[in-house]
Structure 1
Amino acid sequence: MSKVKKGIYSFLRGSFLTDESALKNWKVIFFIVFLLLIMITSAHNADKKVIKITELNKFKRELRAESLDTETILTRMEMESSIRRNAKERGLFPSETPPKKIKVTIKK
């Protein structure tokens, strides 16, 4: 067997894990597995944050729409015609006499 075939065959058999220098290989394998676990955890955390951001943006849009609706209703309620109509329903009418200015003089 050639040297390349022998190396591939020993790799496929897993002899690099059972040889005398296997402790060094196991350390590297554990380190790589540890890094992979950290990477997977951080990817899951990033996905959770993206989902949370999406939910918050949706909630923000809903609140903004509600705010605009409330502002429109308030603007309609503040219109003079609306105020006159509501006052008329309660039995209030505009004054027929104009208001008078009151002057206060202080004598010393």
Structure 2
Amino acid sequence: MASKVIDILKGTFLTSDDAFKNWRFIIFAVVLSIGMIYTGHRFEKKVHYIGQLAEHENELRSQYMGGQKELMFLQMESTVANKLKSRGIAPPQNPPQKIIIKSTTPDGNN
């Protein structure tokens, strides 16, 4: 047992006659580790991007709600009347009247 630990510490398992299978495993482990690190970094990058998009969505939603509030205020009859008062336009004092037009056809039918 102690001799195997000493061989590992000295690195003789990499230079012995059957070292090829050890090198294959080491290269496989290194490639696998690099792949895991790469996917981890990509995952973190996507998480940060999703967080930025969520923050931007909240900001746009807030702007939309503010615009809706302002639009509702501008559409009020009193607001429109106050803005048109400076131009000399006022709401009518009498209600509108319905105009009925009777059309006649050449054959005398309505």
TM-score under structure 2 normalisation?
Answer: 0.89
1:14 and 2:11 equivalent?
yes
Residue-by-residue CA offset, 1:52-98 (whole Å, 9 max, x unaligned) = 01111111111111111111111110112111111112210122333
TM-superposed CA distance for 1:28, in Å, is 0.6
Partner of 2:108: none
Gaps of 5+ in 1: none
Gaps of 5+ in 2: 106-110
The runs of at least 4 aligned residues of structure 1 exceeding 6 Å deviation read: none
1:106 and 2:103 equivalent?
yes
Amino acid at match of 1:87: L
State, as a whole percentage, how many aligned pairs show the same letter: 34
TM-superposed CA distance for 1:104, in Å, is 2.1
Q: CA RMSD in A?
A: 1.1
Distance 1:6 1:12 in 2: 10
| Alignment map for 1:1-108 (pairs within 5 Å) | 4-108=1-105
Distance 2:102 2:17 in 1: 111
Residue-by-residue CA offset, 1:31-61 (whole Å, 9 max, x unaligned) = 1111111111101100110110111111111
Count of matched residue positions in the alignment of Structure 1 and Structure 2: 105
